[in-house]
Amino acid sequence: MKLRTVLRIALLLVLMDIAAVAAFRASVDGSLDELRAANTQRLELYANSLNSEIGHYARLPSLLGLSPYVERLLHAPQDRQRQQAANDYLERLSQRTGASAIYIMDSSGIVRATSNWRQPDSYLGENDAFRAYFTDAINGQPGRFFGVGTTRSEAGYYLSEPLTSHGRIIGVAVVKINMEYLEKLWRENKTMVMVSDQNEVIILATEPGWKFSTLKPFSKALQDAFDRNRQYNRKPLPPLGLEERRSLGNGSHIYRLDQSGRRTLSRLAYPRDMLGQSLQLPLSNWRLTVLSSLEPVYQLAYNRAALAALLTLLSLTGILWLNERRRRLRDKLAAREALQQAYRELERKVEERTADLSRANQQLQEEVSERIRAEQHLRQTQDNLVQAGKLAVLGQLATGIAHELNQPLAALRTLSGNAIKFIERQQTDTARTNLQTICQLVDKMGEITSALKGYARKSTSSLGTVDISLAIDSAVLLLRNRLEGSQVRILRPNAPEPWQARCDPNRFEQVLVNLLANALDELQGQPQPIIEISGHRTTEHLQLQIRDNGPGLQESVRAQLFEPFVTTKPAGIGLGLGLTLSAGIIAEAGGSLSADNHPQGGAVFTITLPLATKENRHV
Residues of the chain within CATH 3.30.450.20 domain(s) are: 60-177, 180-297
Q: Which residue has the higher pLDDT, 616 or 407?
A: 616
301 vs 14: CA distance, rounded Å: 19
CB 181 within 8 A of CB 170: no
Rounded Cα distance between 319 and 257, Å, is 46
The answer to whether residue 218 scores a pLDDT higher than 90 is no
Query: What pLDDT is attached to residue 208?
Result: 77
Query: 125-139, 256-270, 505-519 — which is least confidently predicted?
Result: 256-270
User: What's the mean per-residue pLDDT of the chain?
Assistant: 78
Structure-model confidence comparison of residues 194 and 607, the more confident one: 607
Confidence of residue 604 (pLDDT cuts 50, 70, 90): very high
* Homologous superfamily, domain 60-177: PAS domain (3.30.450.20)
Give the fold, CATH level 3, of 459-610.
Answer: Heat Shock Protein 90 (3.30.565)
**Whether pLDDT at 110 is above 80:** yes
| Residue 600 binned pLDDT confidence (cut-offs 50, 70, 90) | confident
Kindly report the pTM of this predicted structure: 0.45
User: Is there a contact between 545 and 600 (Cβ–Cβ < 8 Å)?
Assistant: no
CA-based max dimension of the chain: 130
Say if residue 89 is exposed, middle or buried (CB neighbours under 10 Å; 0-12, 13-18, 19+).
buried
Does 395 have pLDDT greater than 80? no
Going from the C-alpha of 384 to that of each of 123, 565, 568, 607, the distances in angstroms are 69, 13, 20, 31
Residue 537 scores a pLDDT above 90: no
Bridge partners of 532, per DSSP, are 491, 547
Distances 396 to 243, 528, 574 between C-alpha atoms, Å: 60, 24, 12
Once rounded to an integer, what is the mean pLDDT over residues 362-386?
A: 67
Instruction: Please give the pLDDT value at position 184.
Output: 81
Residues 6+ apart with CB under 8 A from 246: 253, 254
Selected residue with higher pLDDT from 158 and 270: 158
Higher pLDDT, 29 or 355: 355
Q: What's the confidence (pLDDT) of residue 111?
A: 92
180-297 is classed CATH 1.20.1530.20? no
- Is residue 71's pLDDT more than 60? yes
The answer, yes or no, to whether residue 391 has pLDDT greater than 50, is no
Backbone angles phi, psi at 208, to 5 degrees: -60, -35
CB 118 within 8 A of CB 80: no
392 DSSP 8-state letter: H
pLDDT at 559 > cutoff 80: no
User: Residue 453 above 90 pLDDT?
Assistant: no
Name the pLDDT band for 606 (thresholds 50, 70, 90): very high
Q: Which residues contact 162 (CB under 8 A, 6 or more apart)?
A: 137, 138, 140, 141, 169, 171, 172
List the single range of 201-205, 215-219, 385-389 with lowest mean pLDDT: 385-389
CA angle at residue 508 from 609 to 44, to 5 degrees?
A: 65
Paired with 171 in beta bridges are: 106, 163
Lowest mean pLDDT across 136-145, 297-306, 338-347: 338-347
> Angle of helix 3-55 relative to helix 180-188, nearest 10 degrees?
140
Task: Provide the strand spans (E) within 420-570.
Answer: 464-467, 489-491, 500-503, 530-537, 541-548
Beta strands in 75-142 (DSSP E): 101-106, 111-114
Q: Helix count (H) and strand count (E) of the chain?
A: 16, 18
The reported pLDDT for the residue numbered 152 is: 66
The ranges of the chain annotated as CATH 3.30.565.10 are 459-610
Q: What is the pLDDT at residue 417?
A: 73
Per-position DSSP letters for 571-605, written without gaps between them: TTS--S-HHHHHHHHHHHTT-EEEEEE-TTSSEEE
Confidence class of residue 566 from pLDDT cuts 50, 70 and 90? low
Helix axes 80-97, 68-75, angle to 10 degrees: 150
What are the φ/ψ torsions at residue 501 (nearest 5 degrees)? Answer: -125, 170
Q: What is the pLDDT of residues 472-528, one digit of tens each?
A: 888 887 777 777 777 888 888 765 466 788 888 888 888 888 888 888 888 888 888
pLDDT of residue 608: 93
Task: State the pLDDT at residue 123.
Answer: 86
Reply yes or no on whether the pLDDT at 405 is more than 80: no
Q: How far apart are CA 444 and CA 439, in angstroms?
A: 9
